[in-house]
Structure 1
Amino acid sequence: MSEHTAQVSFRGGRWCLYVALMGVPVSQWPEHYFDRPVLVPTVAERSRALTGLGFVFTGGAEWEWTEYSETPDDDSSTVRLLASVHVRSLDGGAP
């Protein structure tokens, strides 16, 4: 069973959920954009989006949130948020 990391970030004015697949070009990672531009998608919405992309949570639906600066080492830079969770493909194999 291959485990991957799903992440949610705010890109292009919308929240985007994507699954990082090692060895696969970023342009080919599965992704889902949420229609709501401001509110963070709920855990249920993220779960449905993951299922739609062919993935499920591996150890529960607890997301880990990270805060980082848009410009590293500049504490006056815009703050970005990134959430991560471990997932696997629905069929248990590689995507």
Structure 2
Amino acid sequence: MNTLPAQMSNSGGTWHLFVPLMNASVWPAHDWARSAPAPTVAERERALNDLGYESAPGHHWIWTEDSEIYDDPTSSVRLIATVLIAPRVLGGAS
């Protein structure tokens, strides 16, 4: 199974999920028009499904934090969620 990462972050007040694809000028993405609360796992999975993906079996969302301004401990924190995904299989084996 080919997997790739999906990421979700909040910068500028809204949550943004995207799938970074190599050699693509536009990445599949989904936005939530709210700053809080963070999208639930179910909302994230629905968004991935709408984009044609699903979480890879056995993989779960992992959260990390980063600074808005590199190496500045007084900087605002940016939360980033990541999960490995795979293309969604429609139907099944016959």
SS at match of 1:65: strand
The yes-or-no answer on 1:75 pairing with 2:56 is no
Give the Cα–Cα distance (whole angstroms) in 2 for the partners of residues 49 and 19 of structure 1. Answer: 11
Coordinate RMSD, CA, aligned: 1.7
> Are 1:43 and 1:61, in contact at CA under 8 Å, matched by a contact in 2?
no
Percent identity of paired positions between Structure 1 and Structure 2: 46
In the alignment, which residue of structure 2 is the partner of 1:19? 19
Give the Cα–Cα distance (whole angstroms) in 1 for the partners of residues 46 and 59 of structure 2. Answer: 12
Query: So what's the TM-score if we normalise by structure 2?
Result: 0.85
> Are 1:7 and 1:84, in contact at CA under 8 Å, matched by a contact in 2?
yes
Moved over 4 A (4+): none
Give the Cα–Cα distance (whole angstroms) in 2 for the partners of residues 67 and 73 of structure 1. Answer: 13
User: What does residue range 1-95 of structure 1 map to in structure 2 within 5 Å?
Assistant: 1-25=1-25, 28-60=26-58, 62-91=60-89
Give ranges in structure 1 of 5+ residues lacking alignment. Answer: none
Give the Cα–Cα distance (whole angstroms) in 1 for the partners of residues 34 and 58 of structure 2. Answer: 25
SS at match of 1:47: helix
Bigger Rg, which one: 2
- Give the helix-richer structure, 1 or 2: 1
Give ranges in structure 2 of 5+ residues lacking alignment. Answer: none
Count of residues paired in the alignment: 90
Q: What are the Cα deviations for residues 39-70 of structure 1, in whole angstroms up to 9, with x where unaligned?
A: 10000000000000000111345211111111
